[in-house]
Structure 1
Amino acid sequence: MPEPVHPDTQQAPHGGPGKQPFAGLDFSVNTNPYGPDPALLSAVMRADHAHYPDPDYTAVKERLGRWHGVQPGCVVPAVGASELLHRVVRAYLRPGGRVLSVLAPFGEFGRAVALAGGKLDVAHPDQAAEKVRPGMNLVYLGHPHNPTGRFFQSGELEALRLACEKADALLILDLAYATFLNLPCPPPSEHLVLLHSPGKAHGLVGARPAYTLASPAVAAALHNLAPAWALPAGTAALLEELPEAREFVRETLPNVARNAADLAGELARRFEVEHHGTPYMTVRVGNAAGVAAALLAQGLKVRDCASYGQPDWIRVSARLPHENARLIRAMEELHV
C-alpha cells in the first residue's frame, strides 16, 4: 500500500460547527447575524440545480468584472476562500519556499503552506515591509486581520505592495471582513491578489461564495488548478447577483458595528479586549481553552485563539443585542 504524501498535516481548526451537535448561541463564527441576505438567498433558490452550470462561469466573471472595473479574465470564482488559498499556494510555492504572514495567518493558509513543504514566517505589522526579501514567494495579509481585527492604513498597504513588487513576491490580500469596515483596496496587479469572501457580510457563509481578483496571468494559473464545475449552480448564481445586492449590507452593517462596539465596551469592564471595529474581537481570559469549555457547557460557543499563538485569548463575534447580553452575563460569572 503506498504511503500518503502528507501523513502528518492536520486539519486547521476553525470556529463554527464541530463534530458534536450544537444548538446554543454560536459566537465563534464571524458573520452578519442579521442574515441571510434575502436577495442573495433568492438567487440561490432560483438557480438551475438540475443541470451542470457553465464550466467557465462566464456570466459570473463578467458581472463581477464590471463591478470591480477589471476584465472578466481577472476574476476567479470558487467555493470558499480556503480553496482559493490552497490554489494560490499550489500555483506559486515550491517545496522549501519561503512565505511571510503579517500576524498569524488564517489557518487554511498555514495548512496550505505546510502541505506544499514551505517555510512560514510571521511578521509584526510595523516590520512587514522590511521583512519581505528576494526569494520570498508569497506574502499574506488579512485586511482586516483575523482574529485581532487590525488593518493597514493606505500608506502602510502601499509600502507592503511595493516591497512585494521589488522582491518579486505575490501579495495575497484577504478581504474577508473588509466590507464590515468599508476598507478601500488597490486594484489587482502582477504582484497583488485580492481575495473576497462575501458570505460573511451577507450572512450566507453556508453557500461558501468566494472569488479572487488578479492579473490575467495569475488568474489563469488559479483557474488552471480548478476542477471541472468548481462552483455549484447556487453559489454561481449568488456571485452573479452580488453586485446588485447592496440594500442588505447598507441596512444591517451599521447595526452590526454598533452591537460589536457595545459588546466590546461591556466586556472591557472586566477583561482586556482588542477591538478595531470588526464584528469580532479578542478577549484575554487566561486559560482560553478552559473558558471556552466552560461557556460551551452553558450553550455559548466562542473561539479559542491558541491556534493563532494566543492561548490566553478567545475570539467572540457579536450577535444580536439580547444574545450578546447573555454572553456578557456568562463572562461576568467566570472565575478568571
Structure 2
Amino acid sequence: MTSFDEPLHGGPDARGAAPHDFSTNANACGPCPSALAALQKADARRYPDPRYTALCEGLACFHGVDAERIVIAASASEFIGRITAAVAQQGGRGVWMPPHSYGDYQRTAGAWGFEPAPAAGADLAWCCDPSSPFGQAQNGLQALIDAPLPSKGTCVLDLAYEPLRLEGSLGLSPVQKDRVWQLWTPNKALGLTGIRAAYAIAPRDAGAMIARLGRLAPSWPLGAHGVALLTAWTGAEAQDWLRHSLDTLRAWKREQEALCAALGWTCLPSVANYFCARPDVPYAPRAAALRDAGIQLRDTRSFGLPDHVRLGVLPPASQSALQRAWPAARP
C-alpha cells in the first residue's frame, strides 16, 4: 500500500477532535450563525428536489453565471473522483498537478490509471489558489489557463480557500475563469466542515461534460443539510459575517506566526488562514505527546513536503496551549 492508497487528512482522529486542532483549515471564527441556523431549520424528513433547481439558480445568481453551468457535488472529494472518472471515460490518461497538492488529486488519478504529464499535454490538470498546503497564490496559474489543452482537456481550479484569502485577490479575468472548472466548498469558510457539500461552475460550452458528470452522479448527492448550507452561503448575512471574520483571522495569524518564530520555527509565506512551518526539531517524535496535550498539527509529508507542518490559524487561547505544549513534548 502506498501513501496514496489510504487518504490522509487533518481533523478528528480515532480519539475524537483535539481541543486545539491546528490540523484543519476551517474558519476558526465559526460556525457562521446564519448558516448554523439554516442547518437547524433544515427539514430532514423529506428528500430535496433531485434537480436542486432553486439551489442551482441561487448559486448561479451569486456567481453571475447561467444555472446550467452549476454542478452539485456531495463534497470536493466526491467531485474530484467524479470528474476524474469522466475524463478517464473519454480516454484521458495524462494528469498534471502542482508538485505539492491535495492528495485526493493524485490518489484518484492513480486509481483510474492516469500517468503524470506536462501541463500543456495533460488530459486533466489540477490547480488550487490559494494553494494547499502552502496557502500561496499558485505560480504560473494565468499562463497555465491561457495555454491550450488537448481537444478534450479538462482544467479544474480548486477554490476551497478562496473565501479565506487574507491578502490579495485571485488574479484571473472573467474570461480566464470561464475556461476552467471552478470547484467551491464553502463549509471551510463557514466553519462547518462536518457538513459535506460542494459545487462546481462549468466552463462555457461544457455541455457534454456536464451531461457526463450528471450520468455519473449518485441520486441526491446532497441531503437537506447540504442544501441548507449552500443556500445560506449565498446569503447576505453569511457573506457579511465572513468579511468580518477575515479581519479577526488576520490579527490571529500575525500572532500565530510570531509565536512560531519565537519557538524557533521557520514560517513559509501564505495569503490564507493557514501556513506551513518547519519546526526547530522534527514534529513526528513529538506528535503523540502533543496529542495527549490536546494539540494536533498537520504533518505535510502526505503533500510531498517532509520536515514541515501545516497550521490553521486558531484563537489566542489555542496558540498559548501550543506555546506551552511544544517545549514540554520532548520525546
TM-score (norm 1): 0.87
1:282 maps to what in 2? 276
Question: Take 1:110 and 1:27, find their aligned partners in 2: how far apart are those partners?
Answer: 24
Q: Percent identity?
A: 31
Which range moved further: 309-318 or 213-222? 213-222
1:251 maps to what in 2? 244
Structure 1 position 119 matched with structure 2 position 112: no
Aligned residues: 319
Report deviation, 1:9.
6.6
Structure 1 position 148 matched with structure 2 position 134: yes
Report deviation, 1:21.
3.1
Report deviation, 1:24.
2.6
Structure 2 residue identity aligned to 1:278 = A
Contact 2:287 2:296 in 1 (8 A): yes
Report deviation, 1:233.
0.8
1:273 maps to what in 2? 267
2:74 maps to what in 1? 79
Report deviation, 1:23.
4.5
SS, match of residue 82 in structure 1:
helix
**CA gap 1:200/1:248 in 2 versus in 1, 3 angstroms:** same
Contact 1:148 1:281 in 2 (8 A): yes
1:214 maps to what in 2? 202
Report deviation, 1:254.
1.2
Structure 2 residue identity aligned to 1:211 = Y
SS, match of residue 29 in structure 1:
coil
Q: What are the ranges of 5 or more consecutive residues in structure 2 without an aligned counterpart?
A: none
Question: Take 2:153 and 2:287, find their aligned partners in 1: how far apart are those partners?
Answer: 38
The equivalences for 1:42-53 within 5 A come to 42-53=37-48
**One of 35, 54, 63 as aligned partner of 1:40:** 35
Report deviation, 1:186.
4.5
Deviations 1:289-322 (A, max 9, x none): 2232332132101111111112211111111112
Q: What are the ranges of 5 or more consecutive residues in structure 1 without an aligned counterpart?
A: 1-5, 122-130
Structure 1 position 227 matched with structure 2 position 218: yes
**CA gap 1:26/1:74 in 2 versus in 1, 3 angstroms:** same
Report deviation, 1:73.
0.9
Structure 1 position 159 matched with structure 2 position 146: no
Question: Take 1:164 and 1:300, find their aligned partners in 2: how far apart are those partners?
Answer: 46
2:183 maps to what in 1? 195
**CA gap 1:8/1:29 in 2 versus in 1, 3 angstroms:** closer
Deviations 1:63-91 (A, max 9, x none): 00011111111011222111111111011
Report deviation, 1:253.
1.3
When the two chains are superposed, the root-mean-square deviation of aligned CA atoms in Å is 2.5
**One of 300, 311, 318 as aligned partner of 2:295:** 300
Deviations 1:111-166 (A, max 9, x none): 11111111246xxxxxxxxx4233x111111111111112137xx33211012446
**CA gap 1:132/1:167 in 2 versus in 1, 3 angstroms:** farther
**CA gap 1:332/1:263 in 2 versus in 1, 3 angstroms:** farther
Structure 1 residue identity aligned to 2:246 = L
**CA gap 1:207/1:101 in 2 versus in 1, 3 angstroms:** same
Deviations 1:214-273 (A, max 9, x none): 134233322221111110011112212321121210111111122112201221231111
TM-score (norm 2): 0.88
Structure 1 position 137 matched with structure 2 position 123: yes
Contact 1:40 1:241 in 2 (8 A): yes
Question: Take 2:152 and 2:323, find their aligned partners in 1: how far apart are those partners?
Answer: 47
Report deviation, 1:7.
11
Structure 2 residue identity aligned to 1:263 = Q
SS, match of residue 123 in structure 2:
strand
